[in-house]
Chain A
Amino acid sequence: MFTDEVLDSVGIESQWRKSQQLTRESRGCQTRALHSTDAEVQTVSTAVSSTQTEPQDHVTEQLLQHEEPEPPGLRDFLRQVEDRVIKELVKNARSHAFDGYQVNWEDQSQLVSCRHRLQHPSAQERSLHVTSVSWSCTGSVIACAYGRIDEGDWGTEKSHVCTWNLDRRGLNPKQPDLVIDVPTTVTALSFHPNQPSLIAGGLYTGEVVVWDTSHTQDPVMAQTGMSADSHREPVYQVDWVPLQKRGEFGVLSASSGGRVLLWTLDPDQGGFVLSAGYALVRQQVPHSSRSNYKARGSSHVGVTALALSPWDSDIFLVGSEGGLLLKCSFSSQTLAAAPSEGQSVTLRAPAVFSFRPRNSPIHSIHCSPFHRNLFLSVGTDGLAHLHSLLQTNPLLSVRVSDSYVFDVRWSPTRPLVFAAATGQGVVQIFDLGRRSLRPAATIDQGGANQAATCLAFNSQNPHLLAVGKTDGTVNIWHLSADLTEQSPRETVQLELMAREVAE
């Protein structure tokens, strides 16, 4: 059935392979022979030398002169031009052509306008007054303290310290950026001169507090508390004082108990350390020979106004409830005749010199930033007195208003201009360079029964003036150019004024 069969194999030849082979060729190339030779080089002689720069003379005129003896033509040039130049110099020195010529290329604003009206609604509901305003060192944040100034007894009202950042775009005048609740009335406020987040405040209970606005949880950074060291009466003024160590500041607080205390911050314990204390006692006040002031009443001098001198770090000025105006020194060594109440630091009597006393409490003193001897003081008699530190009697007396004057500040840009806040709610700005003593400008917001209690110039942006009133609003005014731009003769005029001897 099945048999084996053997078949032949079949082969199929490739056709394309053969054709490839047909087209293949071999080629070769070869470069021509390269010629190469060897050569050697060897230095025969060597020499060593070095260069060095010499310390340069910083007197370049000498260098210039040593460069070349003299360029040709210089002598002839100077000979020809000298007469002409000298003639012009002499003519210019004698010329009056430009006397009083002032030109200002910037846009001038002629008006005083209100930029913002800042309010805190809850303070307004409780009719709190603004007791103090302060600008931060950067000039963009304004802080104000609320409280009541017309209560005679212990103010147990809670109050606030509010800050607004005016440079922020979403500024809401009715809502402060930061509200710090304080258990009692805040009577004094001051921003740190270098650190924009620290504010020092004085309370009605006599405590001194420093708030750190960068800590929103617990802004209280340091507090004096009710210890034997602290004040017992309301603190009417706080100020940052530069201490011996550069860059450090202490807080100086003055209260109506007659004490002026210098506190330093203790970062470890988070509290204050009393570093120096001064007590003002009636018997130790130096009496000037011409004063007919009779000592009466209690023996301590209630301090209502304090001013530091920006020129002399040893001097500070004190104004009292009784109208005394005293020049005091930080370094005074006389011991105070006040009874010691267990303070950690012995109290000293700082008063060195007494100016002519006034008949009314002094509310504010401010030293001139342009002249080392001048300062202004205002009180409830409606007058602003310009004093020199060297004389007892005032140099000038300006009638600001018929009612109380609560605050006075020199302008930071014009040596002769100052602003005063009156009890009628009007801020009067005076220019001492004018002949008449009527105010140069009057800022009247309206609301005649609202007293203007405090004001502050913005040192970074000198056009801005903040005014706090008893209706709980802080108004930011933009001053016109003629109130803020200095004219060339002002410092000279101020100097002349200071040198006058009062009759």
Chain B
Amino acid sequence: MASEVEETLKRIEGQRGVVGTVVCNADGIPIRSSLDGVATAQYARLLRKLTVMAKSAVRDIDPQNDLTFLRLRSQKCEIMVGLENEFLVIVIQNLHQ
């Protein structure tokens, strides 16, 4: 039961370049994480805010539409946020090998 969740997260983390994963719930509270406490809290809090704004932007343009995925590319890494049912999964991938 719990192992299915762990297995799924392991599959995601096993992809090339993935640095860490954070799963958080509707209120931005991290549930599962592979990073340390400080980084987890930071990512969850900041990306939750960003996701809410992105979601409202998409829905304002077209109310039938909804946000499914958000990607942030920075100099050092790429942050991907997958959304569904008010949960968020944040994956950080490192680009330069």
Contact = CB atoms under 8 A, between A and B. Distances in A.
Interface in A83-103: 84-86, 88-90, 92-93, 98
B8 A64 contact: no
A77 interface: yes
Given A88-B82, A90-B16, 7 more contacts: A58-B37, A70-B5, A79-B8, A81-B82, A86-B15, A89-B16, A92-B17
B79 to A, nearest CB: 11
Contacts of A151: none
A93 B32 contact: no
Contacts of B78: 92
Nearest to A488: B96
Nearest to A102: B75
A98 B73 contact: yes
B18 interface: yes
A13 B31 CA distance: 102
A18 interface: no
A71 B25 CA distance: 9
A414 to B, nearest CB: 16
15 contacts: A60-B36, A60-B37, A61-B40, A64-B30, A64-B33, A74-B31, A84-B69, A85-B89, A86-B11, A88-B69, A88-B80, A89-B18, A90-B15, A92-B80, A93-B15
A296 interface: no
B80 A85 contact: yes
B24 to A, nearest CB: 10
A78 interface: yes
Interface of B: 1-2, 4-5, 8-9, 11-12, 15-18, 23, 25, 30-34, 36-37, 40, 68-69, 71, 73, 75, 78, 80, 82-85, 87, 89, 91, 93, 95-96
A152 interface: no
Given A73-B85, A85-B82, A64 B31 contact: yes
B32 A61 contact: yes
Interface residues of A, number: 28
A88 B81 CA distance: 10
8 shortest A-B CB distances, which residue pairs?
Answer: A60-B37, A77-B87, A89-B15, A81-B82, A93-B16, A78-B8, A85-B82, A81-B84
A82 B12 contact: yes
Nearest to B85: A77
A75 interface: yes
B17 A86 contact: no
A110 interface: no
A225 to B, nearest CB: 54
Interface string A463-503: 00000000000000000000000001000000000000000
A446 interface: no
A77 B31 CA distance: 13
B31 A81 contact: no
A92 B79 CA distance: 11
Nearest to B96: A488
A84 B85 CA distance: 14
A98 B1 CA distance: 40
Contact of A73 (B2, B36, B87): B87
Contacts of B87: 73-74, 77, 81
